Structure formats: C-alpha cells, structure tokens
Amino acid sequence: MSSITTSALETSSRRSMERTCDDAAIVVLAMVGLVASFTFRDYGLGWDDYTHAEYADLLLRMYGSGFKDTAALSFANLYMYGGGFDMAAALLHKIIPLELFETRRLVRRHCRHDRPGRDLATGASRRRPARGLSGAASAGAVSDLLRSHVHEPEDAPFAVAMMILLMGLVQLAEDYPHPSPRTVLIIGLGTGLSIGSRILAGLAVLYALIGFLPLLIDQVRTHGAGKRRGAL
C-alpha cells in the first residue's frame, strides 16, 4: 500500500512539474510575441532584402504562369534557396496594410518566435519539460537572436524549419521501429518546410541515416539471431 501511495505521489508531482513548465512556457512565448509585435518596425533592412523581395516576385510569376516563366531559376544564385519564406511574405503583403519590408520583418520575426516553441516541444517529447523550458527561455531572450530574427531573410525561417524536423527525428527515435502518424506528420512538415527554405536541408536525410544507423544495425542483428534460433 505504501509503495502504491509513493508511486501516486511521484506521478502527481511529475505532472505538476510538467504543468508548471507548460504554464511558464506560455508566458515566455507570449512575451517574445509581444516584443516581436512592438519592435519589428525598429529594425533596418538586411543587406539582401531587396534581392530576396525581387526573387519572391519572380517565383510568384513562375508559379502563376504554370512554370512558363522560369526567370527565377536563373536569378543570381537564389535557385539554391527554396523561396518559401519570400513567397509567404510577398503574398501576405498583398492583404495586410503594411509596407513590403515591414511585412517581411514582421513575418520573419514571428517565424523565429517559433524557435522557443520548438525548443520547448523537443524537451517535452524527451519528457524533460524543464530543459525544454530553459531552452525556450534562452532562445527567446538572447539579444543576438532577437536581432537575427529580423535581419536574416532565409536563416531564421530555415533554422525554425530544421528545429521542426529535429523534433520529429527525436520523436522518431523514441517511437522506433513503429513511428506514430503524428511523428510521421512532424517529419514530413519539417522536411518540406526546410527544403522550401533552403535546398541544403536535403543533407538532413544523410545526417538522419547516419544517426539511425546503429538502430538499424541492431535491428538486423536481432532479426538474424532470431532466424538462427528458429532454424535450430
């Protein structure tokens, strides 16, 4: 009876800690969001904002023409970028009453605002809510990160997309060898958004294969040992 009571208390304490971290995380995300909303106009242009804005127009023309206008594919070296963020900002600019570069800064700032959320979710997926909260608070508070949120036209969205992919890979390691539909969805979204921001994200497939290689080798060995025992 004593052991049951102790176990119940430990479970209750763990859930209370998780709930506390969740509540604190909401406060952190809300504060970062408020800072983003009130300060995005205070930043100047990045060195390649004009270039990426033009790239967005070329991409929209390419898709709008049914891929007949392919000028975007030979525009500087930006064919190595997915252009997902640039197109999203350009489309949003058409429907909200903000100047183009203000819209880009707002979207970029709130896109990077998602970074603390990804840190938090990754910590939660590892059942380490306090560590996730710590990472979220750090990512939201460091002044260098706050500046990079609005000055980097591709780096911030790419970093956030890669964090989504990383969260999915962490969850895949937890679920292996039977990933849940939720895990598959996160990995799919992370992969698509990452490559949509920068095609360099394709290297993540290679990194993932290297990371999961020990698990695959262990599975092959276990399966082979089981076959040999069955044959005997």
pLDDT tens digits, one per residue of 153-195: 567 678 778 888 888 888 888 888 888 999 999 999 989 888 8
Residue 92 corresponds to which amino acid?
Answer: L
**190-229 confidence digits (pLDDT tens):** 898 888 888 888 888 888 888 888 888 888 887 765 555 5
Listed in sequence order, the residues at least 6 apart from 161 whose beta carbon sits closer than 8 Å to its beta carbon are 190, 193, 194, 196, 197, 201
Listed in sequence order, the residues at least 6 apart from 150 whose beta carbon sits closer than 8 Å to its beta carbon are 40, 43, 46, 105, 108, 109, 112, 156
Does the residue 102 lie in any domain?
yes
pLDDT value for 14: 56
**124-155 confidence digits (pLDDT tens):** 444 555 655 565 555 555 544 555 555 565 67
Confidence of residue 57 (pLDDT cuts 50, 70, 90): very high
Does the residue 148 lie in any domain?
yes
pLDDT score of 69 more than 90: yes
pLDDT value for 9: 42
Closest listed residue to residue 135, CA positions, set 156, 122, 119: 119
Q: What is the mean pLDDT of the chain?
A: 75
Contact 59, 86 (CB under 8 A): yes
pLDDT value for 59: 94
Closest listed residue to residue 189, CA positions, set 159, 170, 162: 162
What DSSP state is assigned to residue 75?
A: S
Does the residue 90 lie in any domain?
yes
Q: Is 19 exposed, middle or buried (0-12, 13-18, 19+ CB in 10 A)?
A: exposed
Q: List alpha helices for the chain, DSSP H.
A: 2-39, 49-64, 84-93, 100-125, 129-141, 143-151, 155-175, 181-197, 203-231
Does the residue 190 lie in any domain?
yes
- Per the structure, the count of domains in the chain is 1
Contact 22, 136 (CB under 8 A): no
Give the residue numbers spanning the domain of 91: 24-204
Q: Stretch 118-123: mean pLDDT, rounded?
A: 50
Confidence of residue 97 (pLDDT cuts 50, 70, 90): very high
Question: Strand, helix or coil at 95?
Answer: coil
pLDDT value for 136: 58
Q: Determine the angle formed by the axes of helices 181-197 and 155-175, rounding to 10 degrees.
A: 160
State both tokens at 114: 């998602």
Does the residue 117 lie in any domain?
yes
pTM: 0.67
Does the residue 174 lie in any domain?
yes
Q: Stretch 5-31: mean pLDDT, rounded?
A: 64
pLDDT value for 127: 52
Contact 198, 82 (CB under 8 A): yes
Give the residue, 12 or 24, on which the prediction is more confident.
Answer: 24
Does the residue 11 lie in any domain?
no
State both tokens at 157: 């969205």
Q: Is 48 exposed, middle or buried (0-12, 13-18, 19+ CB in 10 A)?
A: middle
pLDDT score of 231 more than 60: no
Contact 186, 164 (CB under 8 A): yes
Does the residue 232 lie in any domain?
no
Report the percent of the chain where pLDDT is more than 70: 68
